[in-house]
Structure 1
Amino acid sequence: MNLQEVLSVQVKKAVKSIYDVELELVEFQSTRKEFSGDITVVIFPMLRFVKGNPVQIGETIGDYLLKHVNEVKGFNVVKGFLNIEISDQYYIQFFNGIVNKTNYGFVSPKPETKAVIVEYSSPNTNKPLHLGHIRNNLLGYSVAEILKASGTPVYKTQIINDRGIHICKSMLAWQRFGNGETPESTGLKGDKLVGIYYVKFDQEYKKEIETLVAKGYNNEEAKKNAPILLEAQKMLQKWEAGDEDVVALWKTMNSWVYKGFEETYKNLGVDFNSYYYESETYLLGKEFVAEGLKRGVFFKKEDGSVWCDLTDDGLDEKIVLRADGTAVYMTQDIGTAIQRIKDHRDAGGMVYTVGNEQDYHFKVLFLILKKLGFDWAKNLYHLSYGMVDLPSGKMKSREGTVVDADDLIHEMTETARDISEELGKLDGYTETEKEELYRMIGLGALKYYILKVDPKKRILFDPKESIDFQGNTGPFIQYTYARIQSILRKAYFDYLNVLNAEEIKLHEKEKELLKQIQLFPEIIQYAAEEHSPALIANYTYDLVKEFNSFYQNVSILGAETETEKVFRVQLSKTVAIIIKNGFSVLGIQVPERM
């Protein structure tokens, strides 16, 4: 049991013994810095069950704890807050139980634990990945890693949007203006080459609209009748009919894009266990609509279209099949969800990493799956996130004003290079080591800046601000890790043995650091429940701040006694382990030297 659980049991016993009242819950909070104590029991919620003065109640409970709980060495009461002081021995015994554990904070899955499928990335094959995709990938990958660390088996997946009019736009523009060029002939990544033609289509489309407007069409008519759009629509019809030439071109250009995507994923440090393709899933779901129609989950309108009435659930009516019998996005999402559970029989839930503009869609999808009677539907979660903006404004793919993911990764690496060279701390590094360090710092800065923000919030991403060796940034935390590695390299003595708790009297800064260390497993579990990498990121920053305060206030290698020296090195090493573990679930590497 952790400290809160131990104290919760004892506080309940105290209230039962003194007031003959059964408390269901004991509320705790961290003791405020201006008061002495390590943990605080909030008395006010008890006043619903225990009548009396909150200060007096706090004093009475405090006296009971002091007499009956070995861990408690003192207390004070401020208004309705019981501030409890915990003995040094409790913290040292806790520390002796985790010292040298490289997997501290992580839990192995139990055999009965159901797996979770985490979907992220899910790009279109008409353009390269951009800054918005980076947030999606980093969030999805990190949540998957946090779930794994919490003891949940995970499958990472994505669905690739490889069909539709947007794909045909790139294909048609390449046919008209590409002169047969390929990634090999141009030296461009395949996804970038295809993206160029998506932009080219939009440019030509706008020209044709202007021409039609000049001929007397109104703007809406011109948009619908532009020849290049009509041709793209014909191409889509041919693709759906299985036209050999169109399908062959589609396969060729998609293969260019997939190769480009894989390179970006590798550079970004994310991976997947499986891939689904919309071209293979867009017909899924119809059989479940037919089944739902029989069972009264859906109803048919006069025109033959099929709908789900969700008005009793506070939503509206949702179409699941058109009058001509063709599927809508909701149909294929229903089918794909069911197919995934069939493919991963040990899975009992899914996390969808999709922007907040799709909030309503997922409310409807999850509700329909519940109405269809799938038990796992109660374990579906939409990891909804806000958009990413740049100081220069909003991005638009078709106009070519997006921030390309590869370009941003390169820019971050170059910025890390400039700052590192300016600081001049890389003496003795080979060129290869320097390049690896620049990449690690640049990517660490990018990932941390994005992941430290609550997923639901919109982000204004400033590349230069993110690479700062001071403050709540990735490089600051990486630098602290490297500093600890330097301390460990200088410790020319055996610091691996567990120390006798009775021999150690904690410095105030050591105790504060131990309190922070103790929180890590709890933070992992909470971050998994909340699907929030920001909780891990900000916890790690708080830990690093606490360590740096410890580092500045006590001597580690110059400690007065051998016991103090060994203990402080062990403490430093444990902080480094937590930084590494915390950053690993964020997908961030840490350097041994910096």
Structure 2
Amino acid sequence: MNLQDTLAQHVKEAVKNIYGQELETVEFQATRKEFAGDITVVVFPMLRVVKGNPVQIGEAIGEHLVKHVETVKGYNVVKGFLNVEIDPQFYLDFFNGMKGQTNYGFVPVQEGEKSMMVEYSSPNTNKPLHLGHIRNILLGYSVSEILKASGKKVYKTQIINDRGIHICKSMLAWKRFGNGETPESSDIKGDKLVGNYYVKFDQEYKKEITELMAAGKTEEEAKAEAPILLEAQEMLRKWEAGDPEVVTLWKTMNGWVYKGFDVTYENLGVNFDCLYYESDTYLLGKEVVAIGLEKGVFFKKEDGSVWCNLTDEGLDEKLVLRADGTAVYMTQDIGTAIQRIKDYPDVGGLVYTVGNEQDYHFKVLFLILQKLGYDWAQHLYHLSYGMVDLPSGKMKSREGTVVDADDLIQEMADTAEEISEELGKLDGYSEGEKKDLYQTIGLGALKYYILKVDPKKRILFDPKESIDFQGNTGPFIQYTYARIQSILRKADGLDLTAEITDIELHEKEQELLKQMQLFPEVIQQAAENLSPALIANYVYDLVKEFNSFYQNVSILGADDANEKIFRVQLAHSVGQIIKNGFSLLGIQVPDRM
């Protein structure tokens, strides 16, 4: 049990013994620097249960803690805040217990517990991955790693949106204008090649709209009647009917895209345990819609389209099958969810990493699955996140104004190179080592900049700002880790396993130990809230504490041998926590910078 849990238990006991009341929770916060104390109990929320003066309540609880909790050596009350002082021996005992643990903070998978499945990326096969996908991928991957560290078995998955009108648009444009071009013939990544034809379709579509409007059609009529769009719609119908020529082209072009995606995923350092394809799951979705129609969960309109009436739940009627019998996204998502639970019956929760423009879609999906009678639908979560903007504005795939993921990864490495060369810190590195380091710094900067922000918030992404070696950035934290490794190299030969128990802690050492002790709890909070930002900002706070310790306390120059060993051990453990924390964000840490 950690310090906070121990104190919470005793605070509840104090309230029950003194006031005869039951507290459900105890609120803590860090003690403000101007007051004595290591952790603060917030009294005000207790006033809902305990009537009285908050200062007097704080005093009574403080006395109880000093009397009954061995590690509490004193307290003071400021208004409604009970500042608790902890015996330094507690921190030494904690440190000697966690020292040397390479997986400090991580909980082993609990046998018999339900697992989690996390969906992320889930791209369309008509364009390459872009900056928007990057936030999705990084969030999903990091949440998966955090859930694993919290003790859950996790399956990483995606649904590849490999069918539909948008896919047929790329296919039709290639058929009309491609002249047999392939990724090999043009030396272009397959996903980029297919994306070029998606842009080409949009250009031709707009031309036809302009021509039709010049001939007297309204804009709405022109958009609906443009020949190239009608041909794409006919291609979709042929695909659903299994037309051999259309299906062969579809398989070929999707194959190009998958190879391209694999390269990008490898460059980002992410992976998946299982893949699902919309071309498979939409059929199951259609079957379920037919069953739901019989049960009265859905209803059919005069034109033959099938809907779900959710007005009693404060939502709208939702289309689940078009009048011509073709599926919509909802059809596919119903089928995908059901198939996943069939394939992985041990899954107790499913997290969908999808942008906040789809908030309504997921409310509807979860409600429909519940109406269909699936108990597990109570444990579906939408990890909703804000969009990523650039200083130049919003990105649009069909107009070709997106920031390509591969280009961005390369730009980050190039920017890292430029800044590192300016700082002149890489003497003695080979060209290969420099290249690897630039990639590590660039990717670390990108991932940290995106993951340090609460998922719900929108991000304005500035590549240059993200690679600053000062402030709340990935490179700043990576540099601190490299500094620690330099200390350890200089301390080679010291016994880092020795147990040090008889030293007086410096104020900076105690502050650092307090921060280190929080790491396991932060992992659990991040898992509960599906928020990598909690990990990112914890690691930053830890690094700030370490740098304050480093500037105020001599590590290798300590006069006392035990102090020297302890401080090197402390640096080593901080480095391990940085490494562990960054691994949860998918970020590597270099030994030298």
TM normalised by structure 2 equals: 0.97
1:475 alignment counterpart: 475
Letter of the 2:580 partner, please give it: N
2:528 alignment counterpart: 529
Distance 1:297 1:111, change over 3 A: same
2:45 alignment counterpart: 45
2:202 is the counterpart of 1:206 = no
2:179 is the counterpart of 1:156 = no
Q: How does 1:244-393 map to 2 (within 5 A)?
A: 244-301=244-301, 304-323=304-323, 325-393=325-393
CA distance in 2, matches of 1:326, 1:393: 35
Letter of the 2:85 partner, please give it: E
Q: How does 1:59-70 map to 2 (within 5 A)?
A: 59-70=59-70
2:99 alignment counterpart: 99
Structure 1 residue 411 displacement after superposition: 0.5
Greater alpha carbon shift after TM alignment, 253-262 vs 27-36: 27-36
| Contact 2:496/2:568 (8 A) holds in 1 | no
2:74 is the counterpart of 1:74 = yes
SS in 1 for 2:105: coil
Instruction: In structure 1, list runs of 5 or more residues that go unmatched.
Output: none
SS in 1 for 2:319: strand
Structure 1 residue 223 displacement after superposition: 2.1
CA distance in 1, matches of 2:16, 2:167: 69
Letter of the 1:68 partner, please give it: H
Deviation readout 1:303-333 (Å, 9 max, x if unpaired): 5544333223222222333455543322221
CA distance in 1, matches of 2:286, 2:248: 27
1:171 alignment counterpart: 171
| Contact 2:307/2:317 (8 A) holds in 1 | yes
CA distance in 1, matches of 2:476, 2:324: 59
Deviation readout 1:326-376 (Å, 9 max, x if unpaired): 433222211110100111122112111111111011011111212222221
Structure 1 residue 149 displacement after superposition: 0.8
| Contact 2:126/2:166 (8 A) holds in 1 | yes
Structure 1 residue 51 displacement after superposition: 4.1
Structure 1 residue 196 displacement after superposition: 1.1
2:132 alignment counterpart: 132
Structure 1 residue 447 displacement after superposition: 0.6
2:407 is the counterpart of 1:430 = no
Quote the sequence identity (%): 78
CA distance in 1, matches of 2:475, 2:52: 52
Distance 1:293 1:230, change over 3 A: closer
1:461 alignment counterpart: 461
Distance 1:226 1:311, change over 3 A: closer
1:32 alignment counterpart: 32
CA distance in 2, matches of 1:171, 1:319: 26
1:585 alignment counterpart: 584
Letter of the 1:472 partner, please give it: N
SS in 2 for 1:584: helix
Distance 1:217 1:524, change over 3 A: same
Aligned length: 593
CA distance in 2, matches of 1:289, 1:229: 28
Structure 1 residue 49 displacement after superposition: 4.1
Structure 1 residue 29 displacement after superposition: 1.8
Letter of the 2:568 partner, please give it: V
| Contact 1:162/1:277 (8 A) holds in 2 | yes
Deviation readout 1:173-230 (Å, 9 max, x if unpaired): 2222222121111111011111111111211222222222222323222222322222
CA distance in 2, matches of 1:14, 1:166: 64
| Contact 2:500/2:566 (8 A) holds in 1 | no
CA distance in 1, matches of 2:414, 2:22: 62
| Contact 1:99/1:498 (8 A) holds in 2 | no
Distance 1:64 1:494, change over 3 A: same
Letter of the 1:449 partner, please give it: Y
Greater alpha carbon shift after TM alignment, 140-149 vs 206-215: 206-215
2:551 alignment counterpart: 552
Distance 1:226 1:286, change over 3 A: closer
Letter of the 1:557 partner, please give it: L
CA distance in 1, matches of 2:46, 2:461: 45
Greater alpha carbon shift after TM alignment, 445-454 vs 67-76: 67-76
Deviation readout 1:245-285 (Å, 9 max, x if unpaired): 22111111111111011001101111111111111122112
Deviation readout 1:101-157 (Å, 9 max, x if unpaired): 000011111111111111111111111111101111111111111111111111111
Structure 1 residue 560 displacement after superposition: 1.8
Structure 1 residue 301 displacement after superposition: 4.5
CA distance in 2, matches of 1:223, 1:371: 37
CA distance in 2, matches of 1:536, 1:592: 21
2:539 alignment counterpart: 540
CA distance in 1, matches of 2:176, 2:320: 37
Distance 1:305 1:183, change over 3 A: closer
2:516 alignment counterpart: 517
